[in-house]
Amino acid sequence: MGSLYLALLRLGCSRFVWAIQGDRLSELFTTLGDMIRAIRACKTAAEERAVVRKECAAIRASVGENDQDYRHRNLAKLMFIHMLGYPTHFGQMECLKLIASPGFPEKRMGYLGLMLLLDERQEVLIDLNHTNQYIVGLALCALGNICSAEMARDLAPEVEQLLQFRDPNVRKKAALCSIRIVKKVPDLAEIFLNPAAALLKEKHHGVLLTGVQLCTDLCKVSAEALEYFRKKCTEGLVKLLKDVVNSPYAPEYDVSGITDPFLHIRLLRLLHVLGQGDADASDCMNDILAQVATKTESNKNAGNAILYECVATIMSIEDNGGLRVLAINILGRFLSNRDNNIRYVALNMLIKAITVDTQAVQRHRATILECVKDMDASIRKRALELVYLLVNESNVKPLTKELIDYLQVSEQEFKGDLTAKICSIVEKFSPEKIWYIDQMLKVLSEAGNYVKDEVWHALIVLISNASNLHGYAVRLLYKAVQTAGEQETLVRVAVWCIGEYGEMLVNNVGMLDVEEPMTVSS
């Protein structure tokens, strides 16, 4: 709240800093500060509402008197009150009056209020042809925030002209405004194709960053734009990314030893869109993706962000087996990172990657199993989903053993999910009936109360249909029920089995080689 106060103070009272001196200036600052402090000091909602009502009444009076000197302060307070969730519609016209004022400080506060207090449903006159480039920048910011479909159609030609403006800051804001326009009215994408392609040749990183994002959004809303940028810009983007990757140290763009990771990521996302479903574009970017994947350091967050985006791009473009193995190996390294967020996003990506290259993901099975035992609940759940997808006929036995071993020591809140997955794996991939019975008995002994009715019903059906295993099953269940504790589901299955095959239990009928003789009296 304190930082918000300072921001409003700087934006809302800058005019008075220049225009008023002495006690009057001190009084204005105190007034705004008093309102914030009074609201923060309120102990109940009723007290807060009383303070806000008092302030709103004072603002209404000032608005009614058309007090121009206090209009800045009133709007700053209105914005703060609006952020608290109270109605401020009575002050919306003050925004428009400030925008219509000749001075830059008034316009600055007016446009800020416009973006916060009004929305796209209101019709607003925005001046994009002003001689002052800073006021044009304010107008572009406002249009980018509240532009409606009607405003987009009316002002798109003017915004398109501003993409070629002499000042880079105006070009940058025009690109951001263009993104809003094409999202609101995709039919307007065509007029921005050539200007957007021209922005990719910019040297100013701010303009370049917004230009790349504009091209990405154009590709998403228009198939014609996608084909246009594939044919015209793919090679240039690859060269641009190569230049950024190999650029020397530049202090203004450096983040943790990496030159402009934000631009890295935007370029990779655009290549992601261009390469998806197009073999020629994918071939063109293979080398640079391999270079990014191998050269980027992973000991800093900026490097990890680039690597993650590089992996996402590799997994989305057309088939290249070597690159995909490299990408999945990067995700495998992410699983060993101490940062929970990095491990989580790696698991998410591996879940998607398994449909593309199961064998490469299988190589990281041991690390994934360790993630099932992680302290973080969200990581455990994601890892469990991935393990479930990794199971097949060849690895079902070792993976099931690992999961059942962990079931014995897992927390209570995780046992439900873990039990459900184990039961599903056993039912789906069981190589033989005796193994099915053994695993289900282990699950029933450890977490029987979490086993769903249909699962233990299916177990009973399987036992009843396996005549050669009746004796084995009843003896196994008889032993287990001795230490069943509170596992009611295990008791149900055991009681049913003993009731059906009790004579085989007493007489040791149908003994298998793996069993030891036992004595049970009737």
Type of residue at 295: K
Is 57 inside a domain boundary? yes
Burial class (CB in 10 A: 0-12, 13-18, 19+), 259: buried
| CB-CB contact of 147 with 180 (8 Å) | yes
pLDDT at 178: 96
| CB-CB contact of 334 with 301 (8 Å) | no
pLDDT at 185: 94
Here the tokens at position 522 are: 């009737």
Report the Cα–Cα distance between both ends of the chain, in Å, rounded: 77
Is 223 inside a domain boundary? no
Backbone angles phi, psi at 365, to 5 degrees: -60, -40
pLDDT at 14: 38
Is 170 inside a domain boundary? no
Count of domains observed in the chain: 1
Is 70 inside a domain boundary? yes
- CA dist 212 and 200 (Å) reads 7
Backbone angles phi, psi at 254, to 5 degrees: -75, 130
Is 43 inside a domain boundary? yes
pLDDT at 519: 66
Here the tokens at position 169 are: 């800051």
Here the tokens at position 480 are: 């287990």
Here the tokens at position 393 are: 């006929």
On the CB side of 401, how many CA atoms lie within 13 Å of its CA? Answer: 5
- CA dist 393 and 358 (Å) reads 14
DSSP annotation of 247: P
| CB-CB contact of 35 with 77 (8 Å) | yes
Is 93 inside a domain boundary? yes
User: Which residues are bridge partners to 314 per DSSP?
Assistant: none
Is 31 inside a domain boundary? yes
pLDDT at 6: 44
pLDDT digit string (tens) for the chain, length 522 residues? 444 444 444 444 433 333 333 333 333 334 677 888 888 999 999 999 999 998 888 888 888 877 777 787 888 888 889 989 998 888 888 888 888 888 888 888 888 888 888 776 766 667 788 888 998 999 999 889 888 898 899 999 999 999 999 999 999 999 999 999 999 999 999 999 999 999 999 999 999 999 999 999 999 999 999 999 999 999 999 999 999 999 888 888 888 889 999 999 999 999 999 999 899 999 999 999 999 999 998 888 999 999 999 999 999 998 777 899 999 999 999 999 989 999 999 999 999 999 888 899 999 999 999 999 899 999 999 999 999 999 999 999 999 999 999 988 888 888 899 999 999 999 999 999 999 999 999 999 888 888 899 999 999 999 999 888 888 888 888 888 887 777 888 889 988 998 888 888 777 777 776 767 666 667
pLDDT at 240: 95
The domain in which residue 85 lies consists of: 1-99+114-118
Is 200 inside a domain boundary? no
User: Which residues are bridge partners to 258 per DSSP?
Assistant: 255
